[in-house]
Amino acid sequence: MRKMIIFCSLLILMISGAAGASITPDTYSIPQSFNLGQNYYNVYGSPNITATLIGSNEFDRGQTATLNLGLMNKGKLLGIQNEKTPSDSNEIFAAQTEMKLESSVVDATDIAASLSADPGSPIEVKSISQQMGSIRSGQNSLTPATFVIKIDKKAKAGEYNLYLNLSYDYQKNVQILNANSVTQTYDVNPWYGMMSQSQILTIKITNQADFEVVNTTGSLYQGSDGTIDIAIKNIGEEEARNAIAIINPSDPLSTTDGTAYLSTIAPGSTVIAHVKIKADSAAVPKVYGIDTMVKYETPEGDTNYSDIMEAPVEVKQPGFFQSIFGWL
């Protein structure tokens, strides 16, 4: 029997943006019920799913965010090969029916999606693998794939990779059995394959100011007040303009002025917040933590607040001269 091969124009399947997809070999073998001798056509092609991040890919350090990924199936038919020539009306009906059903080779079913990060990455994926149903060729998923990520507070600004892994079934081949052209009835014997794809998604952690308390000087005694100098360093990548330190001591410490103007803090620079703190007479001599926050403006003019930092300050028991003459 002469075979006629009909080839479609080959299509190079591209992944949008900076992401790429790779396809692993099929993992399903030919089912025992599949009779290649009764197969009229082999259709070449497969699903090809690409993901697009909905919204911005820029995030701040310390942020917990939800990524919404829209999935689209860009699968294409690449060729058709005739395997058997029908000889009677029933076989012609079977061949025509098979040709219609073979087009489903580009449809993906039972899609499972998972997301991962590089070992040691400051980005942690909090979501588990999820089922996305089926996507026909040329269509989008009904709902986006959603993944929650948490970015470490100490993450450096820059670009980081996340890896979207997809696995799904597709109809690799199909044959028609017991076709009856008069009653227009038939049985379908499908042959399914499994495919896997991966795509790289790029996440950007933006430049921003970040702070830490690097030193605290000054002494406090029970029942007295004193000036405490809190050294604050900008450990981020962006300058902080019109910065103000907000000081919030808790019992047994207090202050009558909980703010200190710091001006502009360049990356890598350290400034001093001078704050007057009072220790209650019932304060236990030990080291206390003073909650410290920086309010500042970004270069774009937006107002931001830092995370709460602790500035350590020691309350001492007054000695003889402090008890008699007060602060010396």
DSSP assignments along 181-231, one per residue = TTTTEEEEEEEEEEEEEEEEEEEEEPP---EEEEEEE--EETT-EEEEEEE
264's enclosing H/E stretch is strand 259-265
Rounded to the nearest 10°, the torsion over CA 178, 182, 185, 187 is 10
Give CA–CA dist 166/275, Å, rounded: 56
Which of 154, 170, 205 lies at the terminal end of a domain, its last residue?
Answer: 205
**Encoded tokens for 147:** 């993944």
Segment 143-194, tens digit of pLDDT: 999 999 999 998 999 999 999 999 999 998 898 889 999 999 999 988 898 9
pLDDT(17) > 60: no
pLDDT(124) > 70: yes
pLDDT(16) > 80: no
Which of 205, 221, 238 lies at the terminal end of a domain, its last residue?
Answer: 205
Output the CA–CA distances (angstroms, integers) from residue 248 to 69, 190, 297, 308, in the order listed: 42, 70, 20, 10
Output the CA–CA distances (angstroms, integers) from residue 127 to 71, 149, 231, in the order listed: 17, 8, 39
Task: Tell me the whole-structure pTM to 2 decimals.
Answer: 0.75
Which of 205, 230, 251 lies at the terminal end of a domain, its last residue?
Answer: 205
pLDDT value at position 306?
Answer: 93
Output the CA–CA distances (angstroms, integers) from residue 82 to 43, 96, 182, 268, in the order listed: 9, 12, 24, 70
Q: Are residues 191 and 243 in the same domain?
A: no
Give CA–CA dist 184/198, Å, rounded: 42
pLDDT value at position 81?
Answer: 85
The CATH number of the domain holding residue 246 is 2.60.40.10
Please choose, from the candidates 305, 315, 136, the residue with its C-alpha nearest in 3D space to the C-alpha of residue 223. Answer: 315
**Encoded tokens for 293:** 């926050």
Domain span holding position 42: 5-205
Number of domains present in the structure of the chain: 2
Q: Are residues 31 and 117 in the same domain?
A: yes
Q: Are residues 319 and 190 in the same domain?
A: no
pLDDT(28) > 70: no
Q: Are residues 177 and 95 in the same domain?
A: yes
In three-state secondary structure terms, 128 is: coil
